[in-house]
Homo-oligomer: A and B are copies of this chain.
């Protein structure tokens, strides 16, 4: 606790790791690339889940659960999909261990080999569309609007807590529709929901757009995404929604009878966000003192720390603190009263600063005499003494203010680091500096790959609100009719 964090400026990546671990969010496990999400981190994820789940249900979706394992042959059925996912997957080949006869311990029982290997799901399109075939006969069975909360596994070589882990938690929506129009509308609705969630709950501004062909989901006709800018000037893809066309319906032979009695392939979308959002949340708001949490996602929004000497003072302070706690809870504000006598107030202050609690109240005997309470904001680090009367309304107002302020601060940060590049040299300089760079591009995969190779920047998206304007591609010199968004990315 006493140890100061490495500053962002000094070593951004080290700063991130220290916050994740120092704020008790997550840690590496004994299993390569797999993390343990600790209770405080998981409480934030639960808040995200609850809100997203509410949004999904409000738009007509229901939850279900599909198997963890995918038979190898399923993965092969959609040509683009298998290319994207076969290279980094966990393969189950056996179903039993036994004691080695030579006494060297537990070994895989060679007689328990699976006829067909099972893949631990990297995503569930294949197993779900194999199921939808049984569920869909007629237009009456459509649409299907299903979401699942699940763990998935992608065998990543380089992992970072929350940002890229072998196993991660996510939700994946999988919908089936009678028409292309409806499937596209669903795809767009869901990226809007993600953007809404990012803005209004995570206080994180995002750019909505379409992925270029190179960056599309394996098996999608179109991938919509939300992209956020982190404090090191790198972009982070925070959510995607895919229009899958009829690709999976064709791969798994899912047809429906139309009202007119014709047989047609079903149209599909899939969409997901993951525990990666935790990484985005941390990197959007936190500072060199630790985590900063938007009130809407904080496990507890307010902490009350008593300042006292001896039991008598503690009792007096506790009486008032508990009254404040109750008044706040009646306004649905979550409060922790930390009356542990094992730690000093200063230690607690540092602890809750590191953990990003939005408001810290300190209450001592002098406050009791004066009818005051000290209020410290985590976002601005400002401290102010308030009259305790009507404190619940003041706190409620402050929390709203913090939520708004965090969004505005992040938006200002992004705007200050969003550039237009009009020459190759300028582009390279800006990308090197870090930030979002809008530039003309000729629309080809070849040029995109060239740019990536030369600058490490990728096309984050073709923004949905892009303006049409004539220009020339900075790398190929060919004509271009709009700017797209480039950045180095996580």
Interfacial residues, chain A to chain B (CB-CB below 8 A): 27, 29-31, 34-39, 42-43, 45-46, 62-76, 82, 86-98, 105-106, 108, 117-120, 127, 130-131, 134, 140, 146, 150-151, 153, 155, 167, 169, 342
Contact = CB atoms under 8 A, between A and B. Distances in A.
Given A97-B91, A98-B86, A71 B31 contact: yes
Given A68-B153, A74-B30, A63 B88 contact: no
22 contacts: A29-B67, A30-B71, A30-B130, A31-B70, A36-B64, A37-B64, A39-B64, A42-B63, A43-B63, A46-B63, A68-B120, A75-B97, A75-B106, A86-B98, A87-B96, A87-B98, A91-B96, A92-B93, A93-B108, A97-B119, A120-B120, A151-B151
Contact of A69 (B73, B91, B167): B167
Nearest to A106: B76
Contact of A169 (B27, B35, B46, B65): B65
Among A27, A29, A35, A146, residue most surrounded by chain B Cβ atoms (within 10 Å): A29
Contacts of A96: 86-89, 91, 155
Contacts of A93: 91-94, 108
Contact of A64 (B38, B66, B146, B155): B38
Contacts of A75: 97, 106
Contacts of A118: 31, 90
Nearest to A119: B97
Contacts of A45: 65
Among A88, A106, A127, residue most surrounded by chain B Cβ atoms (within 10 Å): A106
Contacts of A67: 29, 31, 34-36, 167
